[in-house]
Structure 1
Amino acid sequence: MTPSQTLSLFLDLALILGLARVLGVAARALGQPAVIGEILAGILLGPTLLGAHLSDALFPAEVRPLLSTLAGVGLALFMFTVGSEIDLGVLRGRGRVTGWATVLSTALPLALGAGLAWLLADAHRQGPLPAFVLFFAVAMAATAFPVLARIIADRGLTRTRIGTTALACAAMTDLLVWIMLAAVAAMATGKDLDWRLALLVPYVVLMIAVVRPLLRRASEASRRRKARGTGSPGHREDLNLVVLVLVGLLLSAACTEWMGLHYIFGAFLFGAVVPRDGGGTLSEGALQRMEPLSRLLLLPVYFALAGLKVDLSGLALADLGALAAILVAAMAGKFLGAYLGARLGGSGRRPAAALGALLNTRGLTELVVLGLGLELGLLDGTLYSLMVVMAVVTTALTGPLLNRILPTSGRSGTTAGTSAPADSGPGERPAREAVPGSRRATP
């Protein structure tokens, strides 16, 4: 780097972090997740408010690749966090409500998204039509698992059936979304794919059957050494495990990138296979050390770069109509799908409506999905901007909708209508434990 690039990089990082922190705190004060303020910080630094010339002056073209590199590392760490948060064990005992709600809250947005994509294709399509339609449908179906977990914890819903059911549905939807995005990436970049893509299935098997047991053994061996007082001091043993996780995360990301898919799939997969049992030494220790770096430094850089691509200043009347259609399809698809699914599973009206409101949370996960679509050449700048607005609006509305559906009662912060009997389907057991990882989710 030249001295000029170094100076610009440090100044840009200071600007990004300062504004993201201020707006994140302001969002929390207004009862919103901090991620809402951080996303808005990125948009405010882009051409929407500042104009293209001032935005380009603040973030020179020669500095943006450096910021993009930092954002890529942050994105890999975030996807590791998402993967490690997905615990299919929360599905035990959730029964019919989770099954029906997951199916319909995924299928209905997919169907509405695919139909809307056909209508928008002539004006906004980039790349092959099948890839564009599938991508747009998947983007409408996404739910932000980490932001959802933070909202549930803040609302005191962690130990309720509504909270655990919402997290279980979001976990399954996330898995489906990332699998479908892998297919979209293959369709969009088909000319660059070769025999390496066929290695994906054996690679997943290798991660589950070989890498996961090896990680568990490494964690258990470290714990035994600490108990006996042999080997490195305790903090060094923990750091050794964190380095092991980081190396594995980066290698997994590199492998899927080499296969012709995106590196986020490798990071996500590695997070999913890191064992959580045995005290959670690996997953907890790694997240405690890596998440602050990602959340406080690297993800705000990702938001800023995403905001630099958003330009709402030149929207035409037709674009506002498209935005309205996107918002209606996104919110109605998620809410009605979750509500109808929960009701079919045996839930009451209020818990079913609360589940629909919770699953409308999109947040950062939607930005990651949209960023991938932009990178794959499936979205034009206008449609990308409209979809970012949809992600912000749907996430921001989650809190107010919950306040209407489940008003709080008393000073304890508990929420009316969240007890197990009110949300129990036939044959389901009351939720007794907090969902693992809800306290460490990205706010």
Structure 2
Amino acid sequence: MTTQQTISLLTGLAAMVLLARLLGALARRLGQPAVIGEVLAGIALGPTLFHGAISDALLPTDIRPLLGALAAIGVAVFMFIVGLEWDAALIRGSGAIAPSVSFSSILLPFGLGAALALYLMQDHGTGNKTAFVLFMGIAMSITAFPVLARILTDRGMARTPLGVVALACASIDDVLAWFLLAGVVAVSGSAGPDEWRILLAVPYLLGMLFLLRPALRRLADRRGSLRLTPTVFACILAGLLLSSAATEWLGLHYIFGAFLFGVVLPRTGTERLRHEVHDRLGQMSGTLLLPVFFLVAGLKVDLSGLDTSGLGDLGLILLVAVGGKFIGAFAAARLNRMPVRQSAALATLMNTRGLTELIVLNVGLQLGFLDQELYSLMVVMAVVTTAMAGPLLTWLLGRPTNDDLTGPDTSPEVAEPAHSAEPAKGSAP
């Protein structure tokens, strides 16, 4: 790197971190998740405003590959944290309602998204039509577990019956969505001439779940209460990076390896260790690495040429995304005898897409499933569906109060959702 490149990189990163923090704080003041402001910060620096003059001045073209590398690390760390937070106990504690709501809220938007892809194919279709149709179905089916958890925590609902069910549904959605996306990546031929490597994905998954995970559990049992020493932290970082590299080599995407390594870390006896890992990695990721990802994602969003046809496509995308998720989740909740207002609130929460959707969209753009214009429209959909959750919840349930405390009951059959004053730990922004 030259001196000028170094200066440009450092000053650009500083501006990016401050802008993301400023707009994130503004979003929180307006009752929105911070991720809304951070995404808008990335879009503001992209070509949508002033034809990219801001980004060209702050971030010359020759340093953007460096930003892409930082963004990749940020996404890998974020996916690791998502896997670290994923807890099967949530699903077991929610009864039968979570699996049925999750499947319904994935199948309906998936089918509608695939049907919409057939309509959009003429203007936005890529070379691999099958991959395009499947990818659009997956993109419509996403629910962002970390953003949903943050919304519930901010409203004091994380330990209410409705909150428990919503978290369980979102955790199932996360896992199903990643498996579906991995399947699309595998069958799309994106691995190039080394497609045979994809056959090793199954033994790799089995080895991680049935060899590495028990080994780590036995190690944790022998060591007692593990502390986050520099050596332990270095081993966790190395495992995260190696697992990411392994799935990338297999022809999948590095996000799957990062997520999987977070899932296989033992849960029992390591609560303090996992909390410390989350805090240490989460602060660096949320303050520096994820704003870089938002910038890189925003640089690819160009709405400056949006015309009437594009607005029509955006309207259809929003209709399918919101309607598919809402109807699927609402219908399943009602079939499980959940009250109408709670069913509507649950369906609203399942519509939050946030950062998880951005990661999926960037995978689609990188692998050629989406073109530039459709990617931009889908990013708008991700922002809108996340931003609408808070106001809709307030309209459905009212503003949370500190006096509305919930009991331990996790049954969905309650008259009205209560609000817990105790926030959930470890939820990502």
Q: With structure 2 as the length reference, what TM-score do the two structures score?
A: 0.94
The correspondence for 1:300, drawn from 291, 294, 306, is 291
Structure 1 residue 96: Cα displacement:
2.9
> Relative to 1, partners in 2 of residues 1:413 and 1:243: Cα closer, same or farther, differing over 3 Å?
farther
Inter-partner Cα distance in structure 2 for 1:54 and 1:239: 40
Residue in structure 2 matched with residue 216 of structure 1 by the alignment: 217
Q: Who is 1:348 aligned against? A: 339
Displacement of 1:313 in angstroms is 0.8
Contact 1:68 1:305 in 2 (8 A): yes
Deviation digits for residues 267-317 of structure 1 (CA, Å, limit 9, x no counterpart): 011111111211424422221211111111000000001001101110111
Among 374, 377, 380, the residue aligned to 2:368: 377
**1:80 partner amino acid:** F
**CA shift at 1:127, angstroms?**
3.0
Q: Report the Cα offset of residue 431 of structure 1.
A: 11
Give, in angstroms, the shift of residue 185 of structure 1: 1.2
Within 2, Cα distance between the matches of 1:380 and 1:238? 45
Aligned to 1:194: 195
Kindly tell me the number of residue pairs found equivalent between the two proteins.
426
Q: Distance in 1 between matches of 2:63 and 2:404?
A: 46
Residue 397 of structure 1 and its aligned partner are, at CA, apart by 0.2
**1:77 and 1:290 in contact (8 A); partners too:** yes
Counterpart Cα distance in 2 of 1:90 and 1:431? 18
d(CA) in 2 for partners of 1:280 and 1:216?
Answer: 13
Deviation, 1:424, is 2.2
Contact 1:276 1:282 in 2 (8 A): no
Q: Deviations over 1:344-371 (max 9, x none)?
A: 1121101111100101100000000000
Partner of 1:386: 377
1:88 to 2:88 alignment: yes
- Contact map agreement 1:274 1:282 (CA 8 A) in 2: no
Q: 1:231: which partner in 2? A: none
- Once residues 388 and 408 of structure 2 are traced to their aligned partners in structure 1, the CA distance between those partners, rounded to angstroms, is 23
What residue ranges of structure 2 are gaps of 5+ in the alignment? none
Amino acid at match of 1:173: D
Structure 1 segments of 4+ aligned residues over 6 angstroms from their partners: 430-435
- Give CA-to-partner distance per residue, 1:232-261, whole Å, 9 cap, x none: xx6xx5332221211111110111111111
SS for the counterpart of 2:48 is: helix
Match of 1:439 among 411, 425, 428: 425
Question: Which of 36-45 and 172-181 deviates more?
Answer: 172-181
Question: Which runs of structure 2 are paired with 1:28-107 in the superposition (5 Å)?
Answer: 28-107=28-107
For residues 128-207 of structure 1, what are the structure 2 equivalents within 5 Å?
128-188=128-188, 189=190, 191-207=192-208
Pair 1:246-2:246 in alignment: no
CA separation of 1:299 and 1:410: change in aligned 2, threshold 3 A: closer
CA distance in structure 2 between the partners assigned to 1:431 and 1:238 by the alignment: 40
- Kept after mapping to 2: 8 A contact 1:219/1:241: no
Q: Aligned runs of 1:235-384 on 2, under 5 Å?
A: 238-384=229-375
Per the TM alignment, residue 433 of structure 1 is displaced from its structure 2 partner at its CA by: 10
Question: Are the aligned partners of 1:144 and 1:362 in contact in 2 as well (CA < 8 Å)?
Answer: yes
Relative distance call for 1:422 and 1:211 in structure 2 (3 A) is closer
Aligned counterparts of 1:419 and 1:223: Cα–Cα separation in 2:
30
State the identity as a percent.
Answer: 51
Shift in Å, 1:8:
0.7
Q: Give 5+ residue unaligned stretches, structure 1.
A: 227-233
1:74 CA drift (Å) = 0.6
Q: Report if the CA contact (8 A) 1:81-1:287 is conserved.
A: yes
Q: Is the CA contact 1:150–1:439 (under 8 Å) kept in the aligned structure 2? A: no
TM norm structure 1: 0.91
C-alpha distance 410-77 of structure 1, shift in aligned 2 (>3 A): closer
Question: What are the residue-to-residue correspondences of 1:107-118 with 2, within 5 Å?
Answer: 107-118=107-118
RMSD: 2.3
Q: Take 2:165 and 2:90, find their aligned partners in 1: how far apart are those partners?
A: 8
Deviations 1:124-166 (A, max 9, x none): 1123000001001100100111011111111111111111111
The answer to whether 1:403 aligns with 2:404 is: no
Given that 2:404 and 2:419 are in contact with CA atoms closer than 8 Å, whether structure 1 keeps it comes out as no
C-alpha separation in 1, matches of 2:206 and 2:410: 40
